[in-house]
Amino acid sequence: MSFFITFEGIEGSGKTTQLRHLHKHLQDLGYQTVVTREPGGCSISDTIRALLLDPESINMASRTELLLYSAARAQHVDECIKPALKEGKVVLCDRFADATTVYQGAGRGIDMRQLEAINNFATNGLTPDLSLLLDYPVEEGLQRARSRNSSESMEAEGRFELEALTFHRRIREGYLELANKEERFHVIDALGDVVNVSKRITAVVDRFLAIRSSA
C-alpha cells in the first residue's frame, strides 16, 4: 500500500533529520520507502535547485522563483514520486507544494489563487496523504540552519537564510495557518532532543497507518 508523506517547516526545524528517522522506522515495519526532497529529487530538478538556493540568485524575481520551483516539482512528480507510488512504496519528501504556498504566498505575497493554479498544474493534482509540520522558533531555526550551512560547507544553498527575520516569521505563521485549514496536516512540536521529536512523529504516523490499514 503506497502513501505520500511530506515534511514541512521553517529553515532549521529539523525536517531532514526527522525524515531519516521516520525512514528507518518504516523500514523496520516492513514498508518499502523512497526518500526525496524539494527542490530536487532527480537530475533536472537538482539542476534547478542549485540555481534557486544559490546566494548569488538573491535578486531573483518572485515570479521567476515560483516558476522555477514549479518546474522542478513537475519533473520530480513525473520522474520520481508517481512511479514510486505506483510501485506501492511509501514516499517521504522533504517539502512539497505546501512550501510554495507558504514561501511564495505568505512570504513573497504572490496571489494565492494564482499559486493554487500553478501548484495544481505542477503536481498534476497529486496531494500528500499526510503532511508533518515541524514547528520551531524562527530565531533558533535560522541560527541552526546557518550553523549547518557553515559546518557542512552548504553556503552555496544558503539564499533563504539571507532573508530578513520578518520574512521567516511570515513563513512560520503561513505554515500554521495552512495546517489549521488542511486535515492532512499534523503540527509537531520540534523543540527538544532528536529522539523525543522522533517519538512524536512516529506516534502520529503509526496512528495514520493503523487507520488506513483498517479502512
Q: Which residues pair with 135 in a beta bridge?
A: 189
Cα separation of 133 and 95, whole Å? Answer: 10
Per-residue pLDDT, 214: 81
| Cell numbers given for 113 | 489563487
Domain boundaries, the chain: 3-214
Q: 3-214: which CATH topology?
A: Rossmann fold (3.40.50)
pLDDT 10s digits, 85-127: 999 999 999 999 999 999 999 999 999 999 999 999 999 999 9
Q: How confident is the model at residue 152 (pLDDT cuts 50, 70, 90)?
A: confident
Which among 103, 73, 177 has a CA at the least distance from the CA of 135?
177
Residue 65 CB neighbours (<10 A): 20
Single pTM value for the model: 0.94
Identify whether the C-beta of residue 107 lies closer than 8 Å to the C-beta of residue 65: no
User: What does the pLDDT look like over 3-45, one tens digit per residue?
Assistant: 999 999 999 999 999 999 999 999 999 999 999 999 999 999 9
Q: Which residue has the higher pLDDT, 154 or 39?
A: 39
Question: By the 8 A CB rule, do 123 and 97 touch?
Answer: yes
Q: Radius of gyration (Cα) for the chain, nearest Å?
A: 16
